[in-house]
Amino acid sequence: MLLEIAEIEVRPGAEEAFSAAMREVGLEQLSACEGVVSIRFGRGVENPSKFTFNVVWTSMEAHDSARKLDSFGRFRAAFGDLGVGGTMSHYVMDEAIPGQAA
């Protein structure tokens, strides 16, 4: 499994539009990508203009392949020019510890 942690900073004043775009279109399109196991989406507390996506993929190959899918394109199009920057990191995940929440 692969954990992708992406942070996207949006234009000041566009936070609600970004959040709505993700709830209405973006997250559904991202979850439709082959290889997506789960998604967590959140908004920054200290910096409300920063949002995070924690996406578990079956593999890095699945993640790379998803970038070519129409649904991934629709995910990115959902927030269009609202984003002004961001970072992305990937982590190979060990198996879950029995009895612990995933």
- The reply to whether 28 falls in a domain is yes
pLDDT at 97 exceeding the cut of 80: no
Sign of the CA dihedral running 51, 56, 61, 63 = negative
What confidence score (pLDDT) does residue 96 get?
63
For residue 70, the enclosing domain spans 1-46+61-79
pLDDT in tens, 3-60: 999 999 999 999 999 999 999 999 999 999 999 999 999 999 999 999 999 999 999 9
Number of domains in the chain: 1
On the CB side of 95, CA atoms within 13 Å amount to 3
Residue with tokens 């234009």: 11
pLDDT at 101: 60
Q: How many CB atoms lie within 10 A of CB 71?
A: 15
Q: Say which residues have a Cβ less than 8 Å from residue 37's Cβ, sequence separation at least 6.
A: 1, 56, 57, 58
**Dihedral-angle region of residue 99 (phi above 0 means left; psi in -120 to 50 means alpha; beta otherwise):** left
What gap in Å lies between CA 78 and CA 91, rounded to an integer? 26
Q: What's the confidence (pLDDT) of residue 79?
A: 86
Q: Is 87 within the bounds of a domain?
A: no
- Say if residue 98's pLDDT is above 70: no
pLDDT band (50, 70, 90) for residue 94: confident
Can you tell me the distance from the alpha carbon of 1 to that of 90, in angstroms, rounded to the nearest whole number? 10
66 occurs within a structural domain: yes
Kindly state whether residue 55 falls inside one of the protein's structural domains.
no
Give me the mean pLDDT over the 61-89 stretch: 92
